[in-house]
Structure 1
Amino acid sequence: MEDAGEHYEEEFGELAVVFGDFHIPMRATDIPEQFKELILPNKIQYVLCTGNVGSRDTYDWIKSISNQCHIVKGDFDENTEYPEFKIVTIGSFKIAIIHGHQIVPWGDEEALYNQLRELDADILISGHTHDQIASKVDKKYILNPGTITGAYSPLKRNALPSFLLLEIKDKLINVYLYQLQNDEIKIKQTTITK
């Protein structure tokens, strides 16, 4: 008899939520309720986080979503156990995660692409700019979830709360870009192929 979980993964792939730049409690008070209602424990296989987590409660919430949780160190994180970068393989994709403060100039696509090549990955997930991005450079991809809380940054004072959801199949990823605009969730979608 076929396991219902196996059928689900074949049909929908594995899910990874991507977020970062919480800055709780320094620059934001909480994650928007609309996002908390969507991001439920045991529904998502992977959590990929670009750092700047902030409070212990926020860290505990992140860890409650999945036991496959990958967090890198942001420039404001005090937790010294977070690595500077992390490489995770999901499906046939090698995904590198960094915070992004290491990139000069911040958010520069060419500098991000050079980092991606240096880490020898298919996809680079970077935060720091608080600006949500999904772009293709050459045959590789650069993703930025933005800031899940809408925290301000020197680069973007009026950042919208945002995160990414990746639906990962063997050689294809559907990327869903979630943004909260005027208390309404807006979703854009793009596809990554190998």
Structure 2
Amino acid sequence: MSQFGELVLLIGDLHIPQRAVDLPEKFKELLVPGKVQHVFCTGNIGSREYSDWLKGLASNIHITRGDFDEGATLPETKVVSIGDWKIGLIHGHQVIPWGDKEALGNLQRQLDCDILVSGHTHALSIESLDGKYFINPGSATGAYSAITAEVKASFIIMAFQGNEATLFIYELIDGNISVNKAQFSKS
């Protein structure tokens, strides 16, 4: 554990090499083994090389199957407990309309989790509804999606301490890393 608590990397939709050549170099410099305790990946990694890279970042790896993860034996959904929090993980193609908060809320209730992490839209978003949280880390490579070609590369690091969760939101904007912070509390 770090001074921030239990650290979790939220990442997904890399699509390497199908839609992106590589992870941004500035992200690679930040995302090195031993910095986080958990990796939650929403799927659509794209290559075995990057799947292995993710698995080397932490000892606790959780990956769900994306709509482009053909033949993968990954689960459609996963729920993991970290401290007082239950975190649900999905790719997001199962939710229609894609990224819809009400539809995500239905799945969150089925999975009985405090936080639902999803991907698929490649759009970074952090929302809440009825005391529950919905996080999409976006696309770590900035890969285009069916919705838009204008995607900013992004990922999130979450820090859990008791009933507090702090999010550090990393985006690549004009070649520079922008970091923003958000906080959640569990009642």
TM-score, structure 1 as length reference: 0.94
- Confirm whether residue 40 of structure 1 aligns to residue 32 of structure 2: yes
- Aligned residue pair count: 186
AA of the residue aligned to 1:15: L
1:3 alignment partner in structure 2: none
Note the C-alpha offset of 1:118.
1.2
Distance 1:148 1:174 in 2: 19
- Confirm whether residue 144 of structure 1 aligns to residue 156 of structure 2: no
Q: Secondary structure at the match of 1:65?
A: coil
CA RMSD of aligned residues (A): 0.9
Note the C-alpha offset of 1:80.
2.3
Distance 1:79 1:130 in 2: 22
1:97 alignment partner in structure 2: 89
CA contact (8 A) 1:174 1:190 kept: yes
Distance 1:80 1:188 in 2: 34
Unaligned runs of 5+ in 1: 1-7
Instruction: Give the one of 106, 110, 117 matched to 2:102.
Output: 110
- Confirm whether residue 134 of structure 1 aligns to residue 116 of structure 2: no
Distance 2:59 2:148 in 1: 32
- Confirm whether residue 81 of structure 1 aligns to residue 110 of structure 2: no
Greater C-alpha Rg: 1
1:4 alignment partner in structure 2: none
Distance 1:143 1:86 in 2: 15
Note the C-alpha offset of 1:79.
4.3
CA contact (8 A) 1:131 1:156 kept: no
AA of the residue aligned to 1:99: H
Distance 1:173 1:79 in 2: 35
Instruction: Give the one of 11, 29, 53 matched to 1:61.
Output: 53
Per-residue CA shift, 1:28-50, capped at 9, x if unaligned? 01100101111110111000000
Unaligned runs of 5+ in 2: none
Distance 2:102 2:132 in 1: 12
Instruction: Give the % identical residues.
Output: 47
1:18 alignment partner in structure 2: 10
Note the C-alpha offset of 1:192.
1.1
Spell out structure 1 runs of 4+ moving beyond 4 A.
none
1:171 alignment partner in structure 2: 163
1:157 alignment partner in structure 2: 149
* Greater fraction helix: 1
Distance 1:69 1:20 in 2: 13
Over 3 Å counting, the alpha-carbon distance change for 1:170 and 1:18 in structure 2 is same
1:5 alignment partner in structure 2: none
CA contact (8 A) 1:53 1:77 kept: yes
2:113 alignment partner in structure 1: 121
Per-residue CA shift, 1:110-162, capped at 9, x if unaligned? 10111111111000000000000111111100000000000001112110000
CA contact (8 A) 1:73 1:79 kept: no
Distance 1:130 1:174 in 2: 21
TM-score, structure 2 as length reference: 0.97
